[in-house]
Amino acid sequence: MNILETKSLKKYYGKDANLVKAVDGIDLSIEEGKFVAIVGSSGSGKTTLLHMMGGLDRPTEGKVFIDNKDIHSMNDESLAIFRRRKVGFVFQSYNLIPVLNVWENITLPIEFDLKTVDNEFIEELMRTLNIYDKKNALPNQLSGGQQQRVAIARALATRPAIVLADEPTGNLDSKTSLEVINLLKQSVRKYHQTLVMITHDEKLAQMADRIVRIEDGKLLNREGESC
Amino acid sequence: MLRYMKIAWKYIREYKKRSIAMILSIALSVFLVVTIGSLAESTRVLQVNDAKKDSGLQHVRYDGVNMEQVNKIKEYQNVKKVANSFYYDGWNHESGLTVNILGAEKNILYMESNKMKVGRFSTKSNEIAVEEWVLDRLRIPHELNQTIKISLAENGEKEFKLVGIIENNLDKQSVGNLEAYVAFNDENLAGRENHIYSFVEFKEDLNYRDEAKKLGKQVGVKDEKRIVLNRGLLTAMGELNAIDWDLVKKSLFLMVVGGMVIYSIYNISVLKRVQEYGMMRAIGSTKKQIIYVILSELFIVYMIGVLLGILLGVFFTNLFKGSTMSSGLFTEIDYKLDIVVISRFAIGLAMLTSFGSILLSAIRGSILVNRVSPVEAINRSTQDSNIKFKERESFIEKVLTIPKKVSYKNLRRNKKTIIFTIVSMAVGCTLFMVQTFKTELWTRDWKYRNSIDKSQMYEFRLNTNEGRPMKEGYTTEQIDEISKLPQVQDVSFKQVLYSELKINKKILNGIYGKNYIKFMNSENGFLKDLGDFSFEGVTKDEMIIRNTILGLSDRDLKSLSKGLKEGQIDIDQMKNEPVAVVHIPKVNEKGLYFDHTGKSKSESALNLKVGDKITVTIPKKGYDKGIDTVRLLAEHDKSQYIDQEFTIIGITDVLPDKDGFHLGTDLAPYLFISGNMFKELSGIDKYRLVRVDMKDNYTEGDYKILKEEVQKMSEIIPGTLLEDRVEYLKEAEKSDITYDLLKNSISIILILISGLSIYNNINYNLISRIREHGIMKAIGLTKKQFRNMIRFEGLIYGIISATFSCAIALMIELGIFIYYAYIFDKYSEPVLLLKRFFIEWKSFLIVIAINLSIGYIATIGPRRQVDKIEITDAIRAVE
């Protein structure tokens, strides 16, 4: 079953001579429970695609379906609620809230939802990611790898259907990168989630179930041609 | 240097919002100091003008100088103006009134802040100039060049030509002090050559105290008592003491508040630049070059901010000038604030303060930038490392939802900024509350005092002359007649008896009492012309001292009970028994009634308490025979006296009313008894004190009619002192209202500026966390939740600021109350009679409302701004 689908997804900026086609008509389907890597060079449109897939950005044209719901037909309020329940985001620069400790950062989306925190689940998640002992630490007291693991935990805390990761290892060394990807893979497998990850690192992309290549806002086929 | 200016200018242009915030904070601070400094200086101008009207323009007066000394004074280089006068003679008018004729130079009018109304000042020996109200009082028509036959006390009859009519001196008019001026020339001066009073005004910007001493020494005035400084004026000018503490206090206050306004916002801006400066160092700038860039930016921002602030300050202050404000508090009259000045001192202070504040921020930024490595700076880890790790969550954090917890934690993280923001807001609000409290405190006390004897504020006051026989006074019929006039609201009337007290020396209060008697018997005490103040009694333990008895109506007795320090008034008892309320003067250890240094403690001269008996001795037989009152009391022939014992049932610290002549001096004890007892004791049923209250909203016509009627009444008994306080009260009210307007304006501006500053700070604080807001939105914070979070943050600022302001204001108000009610002992009478603390709720509620409103309003802009930005842009934003 396809958990996520995009239909003729476009994102254009500017107009006339200054028109920039960041995403230029992408049709993409992602099966539930799969690990998909989106690979492309800098400026290829992969981040823009990811943002539209996750409802962070609205497309110029086209649709995005998550769990058969057209997410961009929702208003901002409904989209925010949908996003925090169904989508988990992992950003390249971690984007933790500096004044909240690790536990608070992880449970942040649950608190936004005004739901009771399943302490057992969160603790298990933290142990899986090896950050339980840093429960009360603030982000500025953690290493890059630890911070990214906190970000991953936050993304998984609400048990979202999809985890979207934008270059999650971009700021990490190779050893830590491998570690983080393995943990990510392990977690989504354990909790039956779908993972879509952007990366420019071929080695990391090879760890995915499927690789999708993007160039100049369009997907490339196996032969490297736009489709 | 130009290179760095160019870089700095690029930064300023690139980060417009931040630059505007910095410029705005400087401009606000400068505006605050300039406007408030100017208004404060205007207040001083007002006080100085009032002091000039009350006590003259002279800085010093030299008593008992001769012409040679006068000439030396005139030649002194630092003298701006001199006016000389001498006592010429007394004019015994047929109405029984006595006019003091002074020989004076024309400059005397300048010194009295007065001027000619018509005609000219006296220059020849047979010329005289008189104030308009004095002519009215003497029923002399306002015709120039008329010849007036004057009966002089020492020099017999003489004719004078009226050459000039002088504008009314309201002060003299309000106390019925009749004076006229003849020429200051050799002929008039004959016999008085060594008794000249020389009034001296020095040039500007000098140390007047020192100049007065110097000049005195130079002209040979050795006795310091003959060098009389104009304390009233010098105090108002802040020139009485070596250091003008008032100016120092105000300047410090303005510098602190002004400085805080800038520092709080400028500091943030400098710290946020750390990353950029780190980048510059990473690509090869030296530390010195970074400092040059920081200083260049500082210079540009400072120049723009200061210029803007000064222009705004001058413009705003000029708006005040000439503006018409209606008080709405006392009358419907509109007042012009034409005494408003632009203070150059304040402009200088503003420039200095703002420069000092941003220099401090820049120094801090420079130290930080240069201490931190380029990598750390680029990673901005220096900022986040300021967040402290805390094990335990506070109670507040436990109960807050997560968005509010984020706001709360951010507030705690930026403690210094918050403290600065809140303190700068609190200063304005606290000042406003304290100002309101003080005004209300004195208003309530004033109303309470007036309720003890309302007649103190009546427009017309008649006082039978001390020289008239004791039995003389106004009858009830005469008083009724004036009461019935349509222009009259109320008439108050009291009986007066000059008498003496027989006391045991033991009741003298130690050194206070002993020195009091000494002082009263000296030339500075009781008027020597009237005889001694005290006499020996029959035994060596007994002493007789002067005093005055007032006979009061039931109504006045009832009101008097409000002013009692001890005891209670039973009106029936007072009417039927020989009981009395006493007022004993309070003096310091030297026996003086008033110590201008305010340093000495004062106590009652006599140890009397409720229940004690006191013997009154009056020359009743002498009064019945019609013997001259002054002689009777001075000679103290026991054969003319009768004794009456009174029991003291009350003691008052306040003298509700008193006789205006020397015999009725308030330096001597006063006894208050009922009208009944007064008649029984003295056999007199007439009234020597009459106070007339004109109706409210009187017209000019009403005033003229009533003035004439009261004048006629004063002429029934020759020599009656008539005080016309109408114009004087009007001017005093105008002054009070102007003063209040200025003070309140200062408070309001402080609040406005502090409000703008807090707005600026909250605004900036929120805008600078766009990324954080973006992150939270990215992970699911809805717009509504975001709005609530931001509102909460703004309201927290408001709540903390309001709480802080109210707490500080309350403490200060309590301190003020305690000081004036229990500690301030400068005067013989208590400064604060109504010793009842209160909370001025209105001002507290206003301050709370303002703080909460500002806190809320400050979040509207940032909310809208952050709402407009796309989540993806916000996440990417570099702060």
Backbone angles phi, psi at B526, to 5 degrees: -65, 140
| pLDDT band at B449; cut points 50, 70, 90 | confident
Question: In this complex, which of A84, A137, A138 lies closest to B779 when CB atoms are compared?
Answer: A84
Q: What pLDDT, on the 0 to 100 scale, is given for residue B182?
A: 96
Report which DSSP code applies to B329.
S
DSSP character string of B712-738: HHHHHSTT-EEEE-HHHHHHHHHHHHH
| pLDDT band at B272; cut points 50, 70, 90 | low
Query: Taking CA B5 as the corner, what is the angle to CA B282 and CA B352, rounded to the nearest 5 degrees?
Result: 110
In terms of Cα–Cα distance, which of A92, A84, A87 is closest to A166? A92
DSSP character string of B346-402: HHHHHHHHHHHHHHHHHHHHHHHHHHS-HHHHHTTHHHHTTSPP-SSPPHHHHHS-H
Q: Cα–Cα distances in Å, from B350 out to B36, B246, B425, B641?
A: 10, 18, 18, 72
Ramachandran assignment for B329, one of left (phi > 0), alpha (psi -120 to 50 degrees), beta (any other): alpha
In terms of Cα–Cα distance, which of B17, B9, B8, B18 is closest to B294? B8
- Name the minimum distance, in Å, from the CA of A191 to any CA of chain B: 19
**Inter-axis angle of helices B783-818 and B402-413, to 10 degrees?**
50
Question: In this complex, which of A85, A89, A112 lies closest to B785 when CB atoms are compared?
Answer: A112
In terms of Cα–Cα distance, which of A160, A33, A196 is closest to A85? A160
Range of lowest pLDDT (A146-150, B184-188, B254-258, B519-523)? B254-258
Mutate to test the interface with B, among A97, A104, A116, A141 (most CBs of B within 10 A): A97
pLDDT value at B334 more than 70:
no
- Name the minimum distance, in Å, from the CA of B865 to any CA of chain A: 16
| pLDDT band at B109; cut points 50, 70, 90 | very high
pTM over 0.80: no
Q: What is the mean pLDDT of residues B551-573?
A: 91
Q: What pLDDT, on the 0 to 100 scale, is given for residue A66?
A: 92
- Name the minimum distance, in Å, from the CA of A222 to any CA of chain B: 31
- Name the minimum distance, in Å, from the CA of B236 to any CA of chain A: 54
CB pair distance less than 8 Å for A108 and B385: no
CB pair distance less than 8 Å for B872 and A139: no
Question: In this complex, which of B405, B771, B784 lies closest to A77 when CB atoms are compared?
Answer: B784
Torsion of CA A197, A202, A206, A208, to 10 degrees: 0
Cβ-based neighbours of A81, under 8 Å, separated by 6 or more = A113, B780, B782
Q: What pLDDT, on the 0 to 100 scale, is given for residue B328?
A: 40
Q: Is B784 on the interface with A (CB under 8 A)?
A: yes
CB pair distance less than 8 Å for B871 and A154: no
The SS3 of residue B221 is: coil
pLDDT value at B79 more than 80:
yes
Q: Which is it for strands B227-229 and B60-65: parallel, antiparallel or unpaired?
A: antiparallel
Range of lowest pLDDT (A201-215, B389-403, B715-729, B807-821)? B389-403
Range of lowest pLDDT (B137-151, B281-295, B523-537, B639-653)? B281-295
Q: In the numeric block, which tokens belong to residue A41?
A: 């060079």
- Name the minimum distance, in Å, from the CA of B364 to any CA of chain A: 23
A/B interface, count of CB pairs below 8 Å:
86
Separation between Cα atoms, residue B358 and residue B23, nearest integer Å: 11
- Name the minimum distance, in Å, from the CA of B835 to any CA of chain A: 51
In the chain, the amino acid numbered B262 is: I
Q: What pLDDT, on the 0 to 100 scale, is given for residue B335?
A: 53
In b/e form, how buried is each residue of B513-526, taking b as 16+ CB within 10 angstroms? bebbbebbbeeebb
Separation between Cα atoms, residue B232 and residue B54, nearest integer Å: 8
Range of lowest pLDDT (B379-393, B574-588, B813-827, B858-872)? B379-393
Q: What pLDDT, on the 0 to 100 scale, is given for residue B798?
A: 87
Q: Listing from the earlier edge strand, what are the strands of the sheet with A210-215?
A: A87-90, A162-166, A194-199, A35-39, A210-215, A218-220
Separation between Cα atoms, residue B564 and residue B599, nearest integer Å: 26
Q: Which of B35-39, B194-198, B557-561, B865-869 has the highest mean pLDDT?
A: B194-198
Q: Kindly identify which residue of chain A lies nearest to residue B779, measuring between CA atoms.
A: A84
CB pair distance less than 8 Å for B782 and A77: yes
**Is there a contact between B25 and B760 (Cβ–Cβ < 8 Å)?**
yes
Domain boundaries, chain A: 2-220
Q: Kindly identify which residue of chain A lies nearest to residue B382, measuring between CA atoms.
A: A140
Ramachandran assignment for B722, one of left (phi > 0), alpha (psi -120 to 50 degrees), beta (any other): beta
CB pair distance less than 8 Å for A138 and B402: no
Q: Is B409 on the interface with A (CB under 8 A)?
A: yes
Q: Cα–Cα distances in Å, from B37 out to B45, B163, B302, B349, B750?
A: 12, 46, 20, 9, 11
pLDDT value at B319 more than 70:
yes
CB pair distance less than 8 Å for A83 and B780: yes
Backbone angles phi, psi at B210, to 5 degrees: -65, -40
CA A224 to chain centre: 25
| pLDDT band at B146; cut points 50, 70, 90 | very high
| pLDDT band at B324; cut points 50, 70, 90 | low
- Please state, rounded to an integer, the average pLDDT across all residues of chain B: 85
Cβ-based neighbours of B371, under 8 Å, separated by 6 or more = none
Q: What pLDDT, on the 0 to 100 scale, is given for residue B330?
A: 34
Q: What is the mean pLDDT of residues B726-732?
A: 85
pLDDT value at B776 more than 50:
yes
| SS3 per-residue string spanning chain A | CEEEEEEEEEEEECCHHHCEEEEEEEEEEEECCCEEEEECCCCCCHHHHHHHHCCCCCCCEEEEEECCEEHHHCCHHHHHHHHHHHEEEECCCCCCCCCCCHHHHHHHHHHHCCCCCCHHHHHHHHHHCCCHHHCCCCHHHCCHHHHHHHHHHHHHHCCCCEEEEECCCCCCCHHHHHHHHHHHHHHHHHCCCEEEEEECCHHHHCCCCEEEEEECCEEECCCCCEC
Q: Which is it for strands B156-166 and B127-131: parallel, antiparallel or unpaired?
A: parallel
What are the chain A neighbours of B870 within 8 Å (beta carbons)?
57
Backbone angles phi, psi at B607, to 5 degrees: -90, 90
| pLDDT band at B147; cut points 50, 70, 90 | very high
Question: In this complex, which of A51, A80, A137 lies closest to B781 when CB atoms are compared?
Answer: A80
What are the chain A neighbours of B397 within 8 Å (beta carbons)?
none
Q: Is B391 on the interface with A (CB under 8 A)?
A: yes
CB pair distance less than 8 Å for B775 and A95: yes
Separation between Cα atoms, residue B668 and residue B531, nearest integer Å: 14
DSSP character string of B518-552: HHHHSTTSS-GGG--SEEE-SSTTEEEEEEEEEEE
pLDDT less than 70: residues of chain A? 222-227
* Helix (H) / strand (E) containing B320: helix B287-320
pLDDT value at B420 more than 80:
no
CB pair distance less than 8 Å for A112 and B779: yes
pLDDT digits (tens, 9 = 90+) for B208-252: 999 999 999 999 998 888 999 998 898 888 765 656 666 677 777
What are the chain A neighbours of B402 within 8 Å (beta carbons)?
104, 107-108, 111-112
Domain boundaries, chain B: 1-48+242-381, 57-229, 459-724
Q: Which is it for strands B179-183 and B98-104: parallel, antiparallel or unpaired?
A: parallel
Q: What is the mean pLDDT of residues B269-282?
A: 66
Q: What pLDDT, on the 0 to 100 scale, is given for residue B384?
A: 43
Separation between Cα atoms, residue B632 and residue B640, nearest integer Å: 8
- C-beta atoms surrounding B71 within 10 Å: 11
Q: What is the mean pLDDT of residues B97-116?
A: 94
**Is there a contact between A56 and B778 (Cβ–Cβ < 8 Å)?**
yes
Q: What pLDDT, on the 0 to 100 scale, is given for residue B826?
A: 55
Q: What pLDDT, on the 0 to 100 scale, is given for residue B308?
A: 93
**CATH class of the A2-220 domain in this structure:** alpha beta
Question: In this complex, which of A99, A112, A140 lies closest to B381 when CB atoms are compared?
Answer: A140
Q: Is B775 on the interface with A (CB under 8 A)?
A: yes
Q: Is B870 on the interface with A (CB under 8 A)?
A: yes
Q: What pLDDT, on the 0 to 100 scale, is given for residue B281?
A: 65
Q: What is the mean pLDDT of residues B151-155?
A: 92
Range of lowest pLDDT (B625-629, B704-708, B717-721)? B625-629
The SS3 of residue B835 is: coil
In terms of Cα–Cα distance, which of B793, B721, B783 is closest to B758? B793
pLDDT value at B799 more than 50:
yes
Separation between Cα atoms, residue A24 and residue A9, nearest integer Å: 7
Separation between Cα atoms, residue B381 and residue B240, nearest integer Å: 57
DSSP character string of B428-454: HHHHHHHHHHHHHHHHHHHHHHHHH-G
What are the chain B neighbours of A51 within 8 Å (beta carbons)?
872
In terms of Cα–Cα distance, which of B836, B834, B757 is closest to B268? B757
In terms of Cα–Cα distance, which of B175, B180, B44 is closest to B108? B180
Q: Is B394 on the interface with A (CB under 8 A)?
A: no
Question: In this complex, which of B384, B401, B771 lies closest to A140 when CB atoms are compared?
Answer: B384
In terms of Cα–Cα distance, which of B179, B15, B175, B160 is closest to B85? B179
CB pair distance less than 8 Å for A76 and B782: yes
| pLDDT band at B879; cut points 50, 70, 90 | very low
pLDDT digits (tens, 9 = 90+) for B613-643: 999 999 988 888 878 888 888 887 888 889 9
**Is there a contact between B129 and B179 (Cβ–Cβ < 8 Å)?**
no
What are the chain B neighbours of A98 within 8 Å (beta carbons)?
384, 387, 413, 772
Question: In this complex, which of A99, A112, A137 lies closest to B780 when CB atoms are compared?
Answer: A112
The SS3 of residue B164 is: strand
Q: Which residues of A touch B (CB under 8 A)?
A: 51, 56-57, 76-77, 80-81, 83-85, 89, 91, 95-100, 104, 107-109, 111-114, 136-141, 154
Q: What is the mean pLDDT of residues B352-377?
A: 74
pLDDT value at B331 more than 50:
no
Q: What is the mean pLDDT of residues B512-534?
A: 88
In terms of Cα–Cα distance, which of B304, B335, B336 is closest to B322? B336
Higher local confidence (pLDDT), A131 or B267: A131
CB pair distance less than 8 Å for B401 and A83: no
Q: What pLDDT, on the 0 to 100 scale, is given for residue B375?
A: 61
pLDDT digits (tens, 9 = 90+) for B803-815: 999 999 999 999 9
CB pair distance less than 8 Å for A95 and B391: no
Q: Kindly identify which residue of chain A lies nearest to residue B408, measuring between CA atoms.
A: A99
Separation between Cα atoms, residue B10 and residue B15, nearest integer Å: 8
pLDDT value at B380 more than 60:
no
CA B272 to chain centre: 47
| pLDDT band at B327; cut points 50, 70, 90 | very low
- Name the minimum distance, in Å, from the CA of B842 to any CA of chain A: 39
Q: In the numeric block, which tokens belong to residue B278?
A: 């780190």
Question: In this complex, which of A104, A112, A138 lies closest to B781 when CB atoms are compared?
Answer: A112
Q: Is B773 on the interface with A (CB under 8 A)?
A: no
Q: Cα–Cα distances in Å, from B703 out to B117, B140, B455, B487, B709?
A: 21, 19, 17, 8, 10
Q: What pLDDT, on the 0 to 100 scale, is given for residue B261?
A: 67
pLDDT value at B591 more than 80:
yes
Higher local confidence (pLDDT), B238 or B574: B574
Q: What pLDDT, on the 0 to 100 scale, is given for residue B87?
A: 95
- Name the minimum distance, in Å, from the CA of A216 to any CA of chain B: 20
Q: Kindly identify which residue of chain A lies nearest to residue B381, measuring between CA atoms.
A: A140
What are the chain A neighbours of B781 within 8 Å (beta carbons)?
80, 84, 112
Question: In this complex, which of A84, A91, A140 lies closest to B875 when CB atoms are compared?
Answer: A91
Question: In this complex, which of B410, B780, B870 lies closest to A99 when CB atoms are compared?
Answer: B410
* Helix (H) / strand (E) containing B200: strand B196-202
